[in-house]
């Protein structure tokens, strides 16, 4: 028989006091959320008969998770970031909003303020050219009627050949593999970059520690992140996951979705390579078009206000 005291008047009074219900200061929204959270944790402890050792392990785990700045990594790992996308899709469907490129998770590795270029940019700093494969990435941004959107901002970021991201990997130059591209009159964006590698959670980090206890790996397929925005259109957060990747449909972060697989092709032709300014004979091409939803709401043109990294503070 489980012992249950969380619903007694005494404990309910305590939790309401702890959540600030007996004062008129503070933030009512936070108070409501905190009361629910405290109650849910208490019910969880009772229902699953959480031991003291398990409870204090979890408290220590949260400290370690924050200490390694991995809360934003555990969230997609537990499916919660994908859940938010599915929830938003359902809200959209209810509001009659549909169509366009699917959204998918942002992940924790965006850095604001990347260099901006018109139409065509170079994304890599050249430091990996002795072993990386050059990638030509291009596509068109369209509106809900299929017309080209000129002046859209394609904010793109991806990992290097070691699966790590500039800023978080301090060995890389600032904003390496991060750019914003303004689409040209035909709605086109073009980038020369390098083929990214997939990556995994740090083997010694708290996210992987949790995944180990769940019997799961912490790997992602190679992918490229995008924010796409344009006046009159709904902000789009998405990513394309590369075809032929081992973890394409076995992504620990659950980001791969139908409609978001990028068909990367490898070209081996010294003459064409030379024409395109590539050393050696092999390079990759990836074409991906985006379609945005219209919106009359200016707020919908903006990305969420999630706190994000910024180069140089």
Residues that bind Fe ion (CB under 5 A): 107
> Closest distance between Fe ion and the C-beta of residue 159, in Å?
6
C-alpha distances in Å from residue 272, one per residue of 99, 116, 136: 37, 28, 13
Phi, psi of 88 (to 5 degrees): -65, -40
**Shorter beta-carbon distance to Fe ion: residue 156 or 278:** 156
Task: Match 């139908």 to its residue by tokens.
Answer: 258
**Shorter beta-carbon distance to Fe ion: residue 101 or 197:** 197
Burial of 214 (0-12, 13-18, 19+ CB in 10 A): exposed
> Closest distance between Fe ion and the C-beta of residue 156, in Å?
11
**Shorter beta-carbon distance to Fe ion: residue 20 or 200:** 200
**Shorter beta-carbon distance to Fe ion: residue 107 or 206:** 107
> Closest distance between Fe ion and the C-beta of residue 105, in Å?
9
What's the rounded Cα separation, in Å, for the pair 125 and 114?
A: 13
> Closest distance between Fe ion and the C-beta of residue 16, in Å?
42
Identify whether the C-beta of residue 178 lies closer than 8 Å to the C-beta of residue 157. Answer: yes
C-alpha distances in Å from residue 181, one per residue of 52, 102, 291: 53, 20, 16
DSSP 236-280: EEEEEEETT-TTTTS-TT----TT-EE-EEEEE-HHHHHHTT-SS
Four-point Cα dihedral 94, 99, 101, 102, nearest 10: 30
Tokens of 302: 């903006």
> Closest distance between Fe ion and the C-beta of residue 282, in Å?
24
Tell me the residue nearest to Fe ion as measured from the CB.
107
**Shorter beta-carbon distance to Fe ion: residue 164 or 183:** 164
**Shorter beta-carbon distance to Fe ion: residue 179 or 233:** 179
> Closest distance between Fe ion and the C-beta of residue 157, in Å?
8
**Shorter beta-carbon distance to Fe ion: residue 196 or 206:** 196
Identify whether the C-beta of residue 301 lies closer than 8 Å to the C-beta of residue 228. Answer: no
> Closest distance between Fe ion and the C-beta of residue 306, in Å?
15
Phi, psi of 290 (to 5 degrees): -120, 145
Four-point Cα dihedral 70, 72, 73, 78, nearest 10: 120
Angle at 114 between CA 170 and CA 86, to 5 degrees: 95
Identify whether the C-beta of residue 286 lies closer than 8 Å to the C-beta of residue 135. Answer: yes
Tokens of 286: 């990836």
**Shorter beta-carbon distance to Fe ion: residue 100 or 108:** 108
> Closest distance between Fe ion and the C-beta of residue 237, in Å?
12
Tokens of 290: 């985006």
């Amino acid at each position: 028989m489980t012992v249950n005291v969380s619903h007694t008047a005494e404990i309910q009074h305590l939790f309401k006091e702890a959540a600030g219900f007996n004062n008129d200061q503070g933030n009512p929204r936070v108070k409501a959320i905190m009361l629910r959270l405290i109650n849910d944790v208490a019910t969880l402890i009772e229902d699953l008969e959480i031991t003291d050792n398990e409870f204090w392990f979890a408290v220590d785990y949260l400290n370690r998770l924050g200490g390694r700045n991995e809360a934003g990594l555990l969230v997609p790992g537990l499916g919660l970031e994908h859940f938010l996308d599915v929830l938003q899709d359902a809200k959209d469907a209810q509001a009659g909003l549909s169509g366009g490129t699917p959204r998918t998770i942002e992940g924790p590795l965006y850095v604001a303020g990347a260099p901006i270029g018109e139409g065509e940019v170079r994304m890599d700093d050249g430091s990996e050219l002795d072993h990386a494969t050059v990638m030509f990435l291009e596509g068109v941004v369209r509106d809900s009627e299929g017309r080209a959107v000129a002046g859209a901002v394609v904010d793109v970021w991806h990992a290097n050949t070691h699966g790590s991201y500039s800023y978080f990997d301090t060995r890389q130059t600032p904003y390496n593999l991060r750019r914003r591209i303004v689409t040209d009159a035909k709605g086109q964006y073009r980038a020369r970059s390098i083929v990214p590698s997939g990556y995994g959670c740090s083997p010694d980090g708290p996210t992987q520690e949790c995944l180990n206890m769940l019997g799961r790996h912490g790997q992602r397929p190679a992918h490229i992140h995008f924010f796409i925005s344009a006046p009159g259109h709904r902000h789009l957060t998405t990513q394309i996951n590369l075809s032929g990747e081992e973890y394409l449909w076995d992504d620990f972060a659950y980001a791969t979705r139908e409609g978001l697989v990028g068909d990367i092709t490898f070209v081996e032709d010294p003459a064409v390579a030379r024409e395109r300014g590539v050393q050696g004979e092999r390079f990759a091409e990836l074409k991906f078009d985006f379609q945005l939803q219209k919106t009359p709401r200016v707020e919908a043109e903006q990305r969420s206000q999630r706190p994000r990294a910024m180069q140089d503070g």
